[in-house]
Amino acid sequence: MPPAAPIVVDLLSDTLTTPSDAMREAMAHAPVGDDVFGEDPTVRELEQRVAALLGHEDGLFTPSGSMANQLGIWLHVQPGQELVADSLAHVLRAELGAAATFSGVTSRTWISERGLLRAQDPLSLMITDGGAYQVNTALVVLENTHNFGGGTVQPIEEIRAVREGTLEQGVALHLDGARLWNAHVATGVPFTAYGTEFDTVSVCLSKGLGAPVGSVLVGSADRMARARIQRKRLGGGMRQVGILAAAGLFALDHNIDRLADDHARARRMADAAHAAAPASIDPATVQTNIVILDVAAAGWSAGDFTAAAGAHGIRTYAVSRRLVRMVWHLDVSDAATDTAIEVVRALLREGSPR
């Protein structure tokens, strides 16, 4: 296996973004206070702004998206009840069993193609009258955009159909909206149109928006008050954290519209990969900033492809034995995208040397 070269283009994740000088300046001058006592004015400004943006009463700043999601789950599901989500969902695949570990929650899944939502899938899976024999469903979790699905945007019509069905059955609905910003930019659907379909929503500030830390959970004022207590139990009570919240406010002001650049660059990669190895990807499925290539179609294993790209300074992520993920973000320019395209195109055309 060739040794990795110094990283030239880092497409591992959009979590790699670093704060700009202007963002750092905003952080340095943020008014702060003790957030455990609810006295940090910058945190409160961020929480209330995100809540209003998504059509909810209040918000809660958390150090991570996983904590925001897990607080949302905890609010809706009692120990011994279940949540349902698709089999690629971040809350089940990438949060290390937290719902079971911390909240006594079980889960079941449906299979979705590229994470794309069909309302009938979760609705047909729900059980609300299990009696003494089956676990009752208390929560459906949706993800928009869908990370492991390849940045898939969920159709608003399908979301609304799920909301209608869950309301009829008394089941709560939570959105893992870590990349909801991307969905909004890709579709033009207003944030409130997405947000008001859910009982709780989590959004991330430290991916495409470029803040160094933080997510926000939104919902009713009562739920956020309860979540604030649980956040403290989990070790998420922070003190003068307005320094970080200021980065989030800066990101909201400056870094949402520019996500369209990431989407365009990802689509250019998808077009180039398809031209080199048509079975590796359908460019029409690339809606936002994530590209997932089926490198096995060109004779590669994901691990070997990732290593070969790394030898040329292009860092990618092996999602499975045959799939490789690349993610665009504000630190990847047009020129860097051209460099990555050249390497990926050559590897797909040549195929694996093994």
Over the stretch 162-200, which tens digit does the pLDDT of each residue have?
999 999 999 999 999 999 999 999 999 999 999 999 999
User: How far apart (Å, rounded) are the C-alpha atoms in residues 348 and 300?
Assistant: 8
Domains of the chain: 9-16+258-350 (3.90.1150.10), 31-254 (3.40.640.10)
pTM for this model (two decimals): 0.95
What's the CA angle centered on 214, arms 208 and 219, to 5 degrees? 100
Question: Any idea which residue has 């650049």 for tokens?
Answer: 261
Strands in 215-219's sheet, in edge-to-edge order, are 58-62, 215-219, 200-204, 172-177, 137-143, 82-86, 106-110
pLDDT tens column, 227-277: 999 999 999 999 999 999 999 999 999 999 999 999 999 999 999 999 999
Beta bridge partners, 59, equal 218
Let me know the angle formed at the C-alpha of 76 by 186 and 87, rounded to the nearest 5 degrees.
55
Q: How confident is the model at residue 4 (pLDDT cuts 50, 70, 90)?
A: low
The mean pLDDT of 7-22, rounded to a whole number, is 95
Percent of the chain with pLDDT over 70: 98
Predicted local distance difference test score (pLDDT) of residue 131 = 84
Label the pairing between strands 58-62 and 82-86: unpaired
